Homo-oligomer: A and B are copies of this chain.
Amino acid sequence: MTYCLGIRLNEGLVFAADSRTNAGVDNISKFRKLFVFENPGERIICVLTAGNLAITQAVISQLEEGLDGGTEDDTLYKVDSLSAAAKMVGDALRNVRARDEAYLKSEDADATSTFIIGGQIAGRRMRLFQVYSAGNYIEATEDTPYMQIGESKYGKPILERVVTPQMDLLQAAKCALVSIDSTIRSNVAVAPPIDMLIVRADDCKVGVEHRIMVDDSYYTNISRLWGEGLKNLFESLPDPHWFDDVC
């Protein structure tokens, strides 16, 4: 499993990804799922991956080195718009699936993979997309300024409650971490290290790139405070009146 998310704010972009992969519970590994394609000042594109690891690695490889059947210029370092970049992720995924899927099916292995791609190219606007397993894609908007892939449900409530495009980068990064922490608590197939990337609007370069290890003091502190706070909040809620006659 995996949990990755991207948030598009007026101030910039926040990306976060866990790094656990598993082929069954007896085969757990650590693989980075956050990939940066940067030419500082000219472009920053971040890709997050979920799904079959062989497939997502083959997709990233094409995005770095050129699409299969394309030219060496068909990379995220040369693409001229973010929408073309999202389409390129979809095309790379379709290439890999066309090559591998029949073989994976013969082993009852899952070939599905999903991606988040976001960033900015100088002179153009910041954008954030989710690429589905079929290679089609949708874009984040004012109404829904974030995208999630992988194990998305446990970490969604906090995003729904607090994320708006007007939120500042610092708060959004904290929110992404709480969202991932909630997911880690409920699904053992999602685990640190957590890779985070923050990009300021119009900088077209990495703002902060940070890897949070399992014993990171800030992370463990946030996790503890959130857990204790939830319990305290729950205890502060009024009791139901429809109990009065029996309790």
Contact = CB atoms under 8 A, between A and B. Distances in A.
A221 interface: yes
A231 interface: yes
A56 interface: no
B210 A182 contact: no
Contact of A240 (B173, B182, B231, B242): B173
A161 B227 contact: yes
Contacts of A141: none
Interface centre among A156, A170, A240, A247 (most CB of B within 10 A): A240
Copies in the complex: 2
A28 interface: no
Interface in A164-215: 169-171, 173-175, 177-178, 182, 185-186, 198, 200, 207-208, 210
A237 B208 contact: no
A243 B230 CA distance: 25
A242 B230 contact: no
Contacts of A237: 174, 178, 222, 225-226, 229
A143 interface: no
A186 B231 contact: no
Contact of A186 (B160, B173, B178, B198): B160
Task: Enumerate the 8 nearest inter-chain pairs by beta-carbon distance, A residue then B residue, closest first.
Answer: A153-B153, A229-B233, A210-B242, A170-B239, A207-B246, A170-B243, A208-B246, A162-B234
23 contacts: A153-B186, A154-B154, A154-B157, A158-B234, A169-B243, A169-B247, A170-B239, A170-B240, A171-B239, A173-B240, A174-B239, A174-B240, A178-B237, A207-B246, A208-B242, A208-B243, A210-B240, A218-B238, A218-B241, A222-B237, A229-B233, A229-B236, A233-B233
